[in-house]
Amino acid sequence: MANQSQERFHKHNSSSSSSSSSSSSSSVVVVVVPFPAQSHLNQLLQISHVISSHNIPVHFVSTSVHNSQVKSRATHVVNQERIQFHDFPAPHFLSPLPNDTKFPSHLMPSFEASVENLREPFADLLTSLSKTARKIVVIHDPLTSSVVHESCRFPNTEVYNFHCVSSAFRFARRRDALGLKIERPDFENIPRYEEFMPPEFEAFVAREVRFGKKIRTSGHVYNTCRLIESAFLDFMLERDKETQENLKIWAVGPLETVTIFKNRSNKANGGQHKCLEWLDKQRPNSVLYVSFGTTTFMENEQIRELALGLEQSEVKFLWVLRDADKGNVFDEVRRPKLPVGFEERVKEKGMVVRDWVPQLEILGHSSTGGFLSHCGWNSCLESLSLGVPIAAWPIHSDQPVNAVLITEVLKAGVVVRNWAQRNELVSSSMISEVVKKLMTSEKSDEVRKRAKELGFELRKATAEGGVSRKELDCFIAHINR
């Protein structure tokens, strides 16, 4: 087929460069502290880009290995004149292979070592910045509360929580912690929090929550939009009022959704990915994109069933087949095994990619008609904002909640399997059936229409005058006051 023109999305960056070293006694500076997991790193980098585009200096604080990780996987070129990366060394930590538990427990040594090691360097950085800055604004992932809790020692400092998960997930946690029973149709099928967090990670979270209570927090920033999560945001606001917190909330997302452009634009770091060239040759809305993010381990037996299911569906597909990240993403990982002869048999209708891919461009491509996804929040936002319906296959963490939000509340996707059957093998026949349901059935027309409508509304929300853009502008004005 002849090449097609596509719609692609890129980050809006409107202001001239502003070096973080140029702060004066009248300036506001922002210090960003992400949690060291890919989706969290990525979203905190996104808000850093937005803030720095308003000529506000940003300091991005993490370990050297995690800063290298987020820069190497950035969907746009990182302007290091606007964002100053503080590459603090991390002590040696174990970086084991992913295990057969659904939750990425193999990353715990990396999480623990990174968070523990950042406390002193963070405090030293604030000490240095407080000598010249009129105000320091700390924006951090709540899972790094133990790093930033000493910010209360600095009188010219404000602290904001940036939530990299859906507000529906925060609702589930708050609901279960308080033992609440909420009689609302759109809330009743949200899974229980205890079902998708293992004890070792819950202990980590509990510790960070204890540190969080010591912080004089000024507000909450959500990478979401009121168009899709207003009920959950309102619930959180009401609970805060009941506890006398009465904090400000800003829903500023989806952060990655910005300007449409129709002319191909190669990244400054090396041209177009091979998968985009393959997509250029496919019919509009004909390709299923398959990806399970950076923290999903899938056993060879399940990979085999997935491969056979895709083959049986006879739907064209682009499958990103990578093992879960190790604690150090630059370490060698396992190469997942496919059935013998699979790639040769499907070469006319499918493509298997084993390296990092530009997901936003794939989802924004006119040939992409569906997304078989683990339902990580970043992937959900990107797919929704680009109008791509989702086949939801949640694995762990916030993903089961996000899957319910996508399929039952927003009606923009279909379920691969119910969460209650999460420990069972998903057969090739079930996968084939779901793929055809999403891509070629009458049901797909209904879901696709809903996804397109949501995509249009979400892009409008982040455009000038939209609800999310207004909240984002309000937040920028608030911290810069």
- What is the predicted pLDDT for the residue at 148? 97
Is 2 part of a structural domain of the chain?
no
Is 365 part of a structural domain of the chain?
yes
* Dist. CA 213–CA 209, nearest whole Å: 6
Average pLDDT over residues 434-453: 93
In terms of domains, do 392 and 472 share one?
no
Is 266 part of a structural domain of the chain?
no
- What is the predicted pLDDT for the residue at 429? 98
Mean pLDDT of the chain: 86
In terms of domains, do 430 and 393 share one?
yes
Amino acid in the structure at residue 144:
T
In terms of domains, do 177 and 211 share one?
yes
Is residue 77 pLDDT above 80, yes or no? Answer: no
Find the domain containing 143 and state its range: 8-257+464-479
In terms of domains, do 244 and 161 share one?
yes
In terms of domains, do 246 and 296 share one?
no
Query: What are the strands, taking DSSP E only, across 398-477?
Result: 413-415
- What is the predicted pLDDT for the residue at 409? 93
* Dist. CA 344–CA 124, nearest whole Å: 56
341-392 pLDDT, tens per residue? Answer: 999 999 999 999 998 899 999 999 999 999 999 999 999 999 999 999 999 9
- What is the predicted pLDDT for the residue at 331? 63
Quick one: which of 217, 202, 203, 264 has its CA closest to 7?
264
In terms of domains, do 345 and 455 share one?
yes
In terms of domains, do 208 and 318 share one?
no
In terms of domains, do 468 and 452 share one?
no
- What is the predicted pLDDT for the residue at 468? 97
Residue indicated by tokens 């949690």: 35
Number of domains in the chain: 2
pTM above 0.85, yes or no: yes
Catalytic entry in 86, 141, 365, 398: 141
Mark whether 141 is an active-site residue.
yes
Mark whether 186 is an active-site residue.
no
Is 263 part of a structural domain of the chain?
no
Question: For residues 17 and 44, is the Cβ–Cβ distance under 8 A?
Answer: no
Is 3 part of a structural domain of the chain?
no
For residue 334, name the pLDDT band (cuts at 50, 70, 90).
low
> Cα 129 vs. chain centroid, distance in angstroms?
30
32-56 pLDDT, tens per residue? Answer: 999 999 999 999 999 999 999 999 9
- What is the predicted pLDDT for the residue at 303? 94
Q: Whats the size of the chain, residue-wise? A: 481
Catalytic entry in 40, 49, 140, 163: 40
Q: What is the CATH number of the domain that holds 440?
A: 3.40.50.2000
- What is the predicted pLDDT for the residue at 1? 43
99-149 pLDDT, tens per residue? Answer: 666 777 777 888 888 888 899 999 999 999 999 999 999 999 999 999 999
* Dist. CA 447–CA 444, nearest whole Å: 5
In terms of domains, do 101 and 191 share one?
yes
Is 1 part of a structural domain of the chain?
no
In terms of domains, do 50 and 17 share one?
yes
In terms of domains, do 410 and 276 share one?
yes
Is residue 24 pLDDT above 60, yes or no? Answer: no
